[in-house]
């Protein structure tokens, strides 16, 4: 893959300062890029390295006008660099076709240029859109539909009746449509509540590796357009995750909770059931949320690392905090009373 700087500038809608005919054959970080590569510098430390890089060209913010190499000025250097990377490192795609070891159920509708890998099982009445890729050892249950250009990686299970939109990526080991965790006690035993709903994943969603997304008890668990999840995320039954929300590694969301659009849940955040997280809200890492969070609110509660001996002392204090708080309020009242008596005496 080779592109001239002029072609790259047109691709990213940037202003070129340098040789338009310079040929670029690769891309890399500013510390590692070599001659023939293009890199980017966004701010701070990276901008200070402009005169040190060995790259042939650098994508820079619009206000940068001088450097020892050719430059392409843009409003968002990182975004422009992502577009360039996509040109030099396109996602590999297997050739269309059905592997002889794949098992395809009756009454399936397969679009054009579908790829179904070795050992994959596709159930009855499944609909696969044009260009869908099912990598080896995927399981697709009965009556599932998957939209065009979606990619399902190895060991993914998409269980019966679930719906997947266009250009969806599901990474290895994820399970879509497992039963929601619903039980009712009867005479001290747990009676399973049938989970009759589905999971619906809208267009342009990317699901990380080893995610588990439970089907709804009734209706649907709904992952809306543009949502991105990291690895090992769990989404329980009847959850709604709003458009373009971000769920970072090991987030857990309990049943019937709604996550607003463009919300961000940081790593290991835990969200209780039947609550709502507002649009654009941010929940910090290792934060447990048990109540509604409004739009654009930022909450956190994870404990930062502290010296171990200090933590051992803190552990003994935490259980006594309610009593200490009660004593403090009593002392405040006593002090206020004494100050009032003193002022009367004066």
- Within its chain, how far is the Cα of 307 from the centroid? 32
Which tokens in the block code for residue 9? 């500038």
Closest CA to 200 of 260, 262, 145, 263: 145
Q: In which residue are the tokens 């869908």 written?
A: 132
Catalytic annotation present for 237: yes
Judge contact between 211 and 232, C-beta under 8 A.
Answer: yes
Which segments of 24-88 does DSSP mark as H helices, in order? 44-48, 77-88
Judge contact between 281 and 296, C-beta under 8 A.
Answer: yes
Closest CA to 253 of 238, 271, 275: 271
Separation in Å, CA 160 to CA 113, 195, 299, 315: 23, 12, 37, 47
Task: Kindly name the residue from 237, 244, 308, 316 that is annotated as catalytic.
Answer: 237
Closest CA to 202 of 253, 247, 145: 145
Burial, 325: exposed, middle or buried (Cβ in 10 Å; 0-12, 13-18, 19+)?
Answer: exposed
Rounded to a whole number of angstroms, the CA Rg of the chain reads 27
Which sequence positions are flagged as catalytic?
Answer: 237
């Amino acid at each position: 893959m080779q592109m001239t700087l002029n072609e790259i500038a047109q691709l990213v809608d940037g202003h070129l300062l340098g040789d338009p005919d310079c040929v670029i054959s690769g891309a890399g970080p500013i510390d590692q890029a070599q001659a023939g590569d293009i890199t980017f510098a966004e701010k701070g430390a990276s901008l200070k390295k402009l005169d040190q890089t060995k790259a042939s060209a650098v994508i820079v913010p619009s206000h940068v006008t001088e450097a020892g190499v050719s430059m392409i000025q843009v409003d968002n250097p990182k975004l422009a660099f992502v577009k360039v990377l996509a040109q030099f490192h396109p996602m590999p795609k297997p050739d269309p076709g059905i592997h002889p070891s794949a098992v395809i159920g009756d009454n399936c509708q397969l679009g054009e240029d579908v790829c179904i890998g070795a050992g994959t099982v596709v159930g009855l009445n499944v609909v696969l859109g044009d260009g869908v890729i099912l990598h080896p050892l995927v399981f697709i249950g009965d009556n599932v539909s998957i939209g065009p250009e979606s990619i399902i990686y190895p060991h993914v299970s998409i269980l019966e009746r679930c719906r997947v939109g266009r250009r969806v990526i599901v990474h290895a080991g994820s399970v879509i449509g497992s039963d929601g965790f619903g039980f009712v006690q009867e005479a001290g035993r747990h009676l399973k509540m049938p989970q009759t709903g589905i999971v619906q994943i809208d267009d342009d969603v990317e699901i990380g590796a080893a995610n588990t997304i439970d089907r709804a008890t009734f209706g649907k668990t709904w992952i809306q357009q543009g949502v991105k999840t990291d690895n090992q995320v769990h989404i329980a039954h009847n959850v709604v995750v709003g458009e373009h929300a971000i769920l970072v590694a090991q987030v857990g969301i309990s049943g019937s909770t709604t996550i607003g659009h463009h919300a961000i849940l940081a790593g290991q955040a835990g969200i209780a059931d039947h609550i709502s997280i507002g649009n654009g809200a941010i929940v910090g890492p290792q934060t447990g949320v048990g109540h509604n969070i409004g739009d654009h609110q930022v909450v956190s509660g994870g404990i930062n690392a502290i010296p171990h001996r200090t933590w051992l002392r803190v552990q003994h204090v935490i259980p006594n905090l309610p009593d200490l708080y009660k004593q403090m309020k009593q002392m405040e009242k006593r002090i206020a009373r004494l100050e009032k008596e003193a002022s009367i005496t004066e």
